[in-house]
Amino acid sequence: MGNIEHPANIQHKNHVSFAPRLTINPREDSLSKGIALSVSASVLFAVMYYYTSLLTPLSGVEIFGWRMLLTVPCMTVFMLVSGEWRRVLELVRVVVAKPKLVAGLSVSAALLGVQLWLFMWAPLNGYSLDVSLGYFLLPLAMVLTGRIAYGESLSYLQKVAVFFATLGVVNELYQVGGFSWATLVVVVGYPLYFVLRKYLKTDHLGGLWVDMTLMLPVAWWFVQGGEQGLGVFDQYPGLIWLIPLLGLISASALVVYIIASRLLPFSLFGLLSYVEPVLLLGVALLLGESIKSGEWLTYIPIWLAVLVPIFEGFKHLTRQRRP
């Protein structure tokens, strides 16, 4: 693909210059920024996953509540500055015209709320490894969802990936008779959430903001009704800094993730989504969990399944970059 010259470097027809001209390829610059931002978002989500272990004595539901109460305002500021607030206004107009949509939005918010709660709760309750396994399986679950719900075809390599993942699933069923409920919540819950958003036509930033805003009453109830309550700062002064920082990390991760999704091709953006479960697995091991001997036959095939679409993605990108 040829380079596109920056307008500032284009010489006038009648002017001859022997100085070297700089060329900038906006597409390559956008890809580089997008990759950096996507990896940064995954790192921030992993940091937040570990960060919950520092918020003693807060419970998982209290941490979830604080995260929502602090993230939504930061996200609102971002949307106002970036011009994305119009998406919210458009969605409000649709809801006014079709009040029945409120029921669907409530279900959508509940599905997302469960995922965000589990993300905060798992590291404190010994389910980090189960959740990381769910995130490893999630992209493959999305592939199968696309096939079943929308009739999307699978490439040969995607079929190979599904085969490897199936081997891991069969071993897990053999070992313990089924997956942990935490793994199933991720693997089943997220595809349902994305399908519902697509059906409601809220699969944009405005729809995400509405989902998170609808969670605020529950978040407030979790914080106020928790064991520590609103007086937590009096009892544990150190949390005065730690809790607001949680909101900042959460909002930053979300904003960086959204920007990366705009800069990257969908295939590459999906490919980079595998960075997060790798980091979450590292956090789980860091928090003291371990992979049992019988579970290696679950994880190895699933990791092989992850490598297949990574190979396919790089193969696709290499083909695109050829002149």
* Residue corresponding to tokens 């918020």: 55
Q: For residue 63, give every residue at least 6 positions away whose Cβ sits within 8 Å of its Cβ, in sequence order, or none.
A: 52, 55, 120, 121, 124, 246
Highest mean pLDDT among 49-58, 80-89, 154-163, 296-305: 80-89
State pLDDT tens for residues 49-95: 899 888 888 888 899 999 999 989 988 998 899 888 999 999 999 99
Predicted model pTM: 0.76
> CB 53: neighbour CB atoms within 10 A?
14
Tokens matching residue 143: 């592939």
Q: pLDDT tens-digit profile of 39-58?
A: 898 899 999 989 988 888 88
Contact 120, 67 (CB under 8 A): yes
pLDDT over threshold 80, residue 266: no
